[in-house]
Structure 1
């Protein structure tokens, strides 16, 4: 007897994309135990990919793994006589990762490298949002900058051998429309002088976007043949949206649930995952491209090119961010 999945089946998506056959491709999705990462992993595995999701909590990770495997089995059953053929090669696995702990990042990367398998797709998806009070990672960094940017910077750098061993590898880093309010204060990246939950989040998401673009530039210059892309989910109904701003609060902020359920201005996690899936699979992607929903204010809609703040493509600032990130994490990328 199979275990019962307590979550209701996904509702039909208003917007969708077709994924190519991903048989034989290996993907790593950070934060794949919930929200956008969960939906991304579900679609990738249904398309035939071997997917590893990461989670901080072993219990939540195992629960997500069971649900993903049930979704994969259901997708395989539903495919039946699909004229495009059977995509039976999909698999889902779980790995432990705490992006707020650089030792955890190193352990996961070592495990991936020691497996001997190339890594075709890396989704820098996990994150924390709008933490009300200034909080530090295990390594002493401001939590949002340390988790969202530095953790993924270190992970990508440590995974370079596996990425370089793949054919046409891609790295997709999740940013946000909130990057528009972000400013990189190189004199106070850890927000010690003045902390505001949303400006700190905006800084981390601007850093994500600048990292994706700089990784693409370096790939072109150094011949890595890695396609580095960025995406944002619009305004999607995930536990990040509903719980992030309430971390450390005895009671949720009034209106936090109403805001994300307002008709027409938000979309499901499954729809929010489409831009990163599109970035990972469209044959037309170029290094540094940025994708998001194409609807009103980029809150909802089918994936398309997203707008970004001019400072996000300032190369001098991106190079400075890169060097500071290497100093802070102790992780260096190849130089040839």
Structure 2
């Protein structure tokens, strides 16, 4: 892609036009819908839950920390009059991911919408998941993929129970996919290896966010016949706790020049997950604010995505 095209993409996704989608006006009534939002106790996930509660959905806040989740649930109840439900989920531990999915399916026969919204950004490079994967890829991509596939029986039944025959999965990625270098996945960096350390935490983050899109695309291809709608979203540059590992001067620059408040970050994924306009959109890429954007070589590669799918399935064995 040329410099002019890259600049245009940066400008239109970092400083997007005013959203034509307004949650309280445009999200239909969600009474009877069962929804999970990962990472829902803070940031974009929390704002997503707030909007869903206001539209009468039954929402599970899937988070690692019960105290933080319960505090967020209480605060949201004061704001909305509705109460989200806590689901303990540690995306950095594959056994605990399976446990969370099983716990949910013991409580609920169906799942209509899944927001894979949690994540980690720029942790110290030496940090790994409990299973020995790079923390960012293991959490952002593998953990969410395992959670989604473990919940597939409930999602398929959710599609069957929906009037439009669809259950939706929205996978939160980032604009940084455009900074992910070739090859799109460096397979020897997914576990602890000198190559992973050499790549560095910022490049590992960009790679993990491509992994999110890659999984989303392949999920769309493989489960379309079951009514599963899977899309990836760039929420925009948003002020949240996700930037806590950045140096303070970098946070100040980002917050001042680029970032928007957390409620804005929920717009695009809410649009992809709830709008009647997007019910048949699958394998797509949504960008700020609430717009479908064409895939590029950095957000779609069927060959890599098929290989990623096989890799994910291999890692899930025994979990």
TM range (shorter): 0.7 to 0.9
Structure 1 counterpart SS, 2:227: coil
- Cα offset, 1:188, TM superposition: 3.3
Structure 2 counterpart SS, 1:118: coil
Instruction: Give the alignment partner of residue 35 of structure 2, picking from 27, 35, 43.
Output: 27
Q: In the aligned structure 1, how far is the partner of 2:273 from the partner of 2:265?
A: 14
Alignment match, 1:259: 253
Instruction: Give the alignment partner of residue 151 of structure 1, picking from 140, 143, 152.
Output: 143
Alignment match, 1:292: 287
Q: In the aligned structure 2, how far is the partner of 1:228 from the partner of 1:331?
A: 26
- Cα offset, 1:58, TM superposition: 1.4
Structure 2 counterpart SS, 1:165: helix
Give the paired residue count.
Answer: 284
Q: Does the alignment pair 1:204 with 2:196?
A: no
Alignment match, 1:77: none
Q: Gapped runs of 5+ residues in structure 2?
A: 1-17
TM-score, normalising length: structure 1? 0.81
Give structure 1 regions of 4+ aligned residues with deviation exceeding 6 angstroms. Answer: none
- Cα offset, 1:311, TM superposition: 4.0
Q: In the aligned structure 1, how far is the partner of 2:294 from the partner of 2:194?
A: 31
Where relative contact order (Cα < 8 A, 6+ residues apart) is larger, the structure is 2
Contact 1:180 / 1:308 at 8 angstroms: preserved in 2?
A: no
Q: In the aligned structure 1, how far is the partner of 2:318 from the partner of 2:298?
A: 25
CA change 1:305–1:331 in 2 (3 A) is farther
Superposition pairs of residues 269-284 of structure 1, within 5 angstroms: 269-284=262-277
TM-score, normalising length: structure 2? 0.85
Instruction: Give the alignment partner of residue 123 of structure 2, picking from 128, 131, 134.
Output: 131
CA change 1:229–1:37 in 2 (3 A) is same
Alignment match, 2:293: 306
Q: In the aligned structure 1, how far is the partner of 2:283 from the partner of 2:270?
A: 15
Structure 2 counterpart SS, 1:108: helix
Contact 1:112 / 1:162 at 8 angstroms: preserved in 2?
A: no
CA change 1:239–1:154 in 2 (3 A) is same
Q: In the aligned structure 1, how far is the partner of 2:222 from the partner of 2:309?
A: 11
- Cα offset, 1:259, TM superposition: 2.0
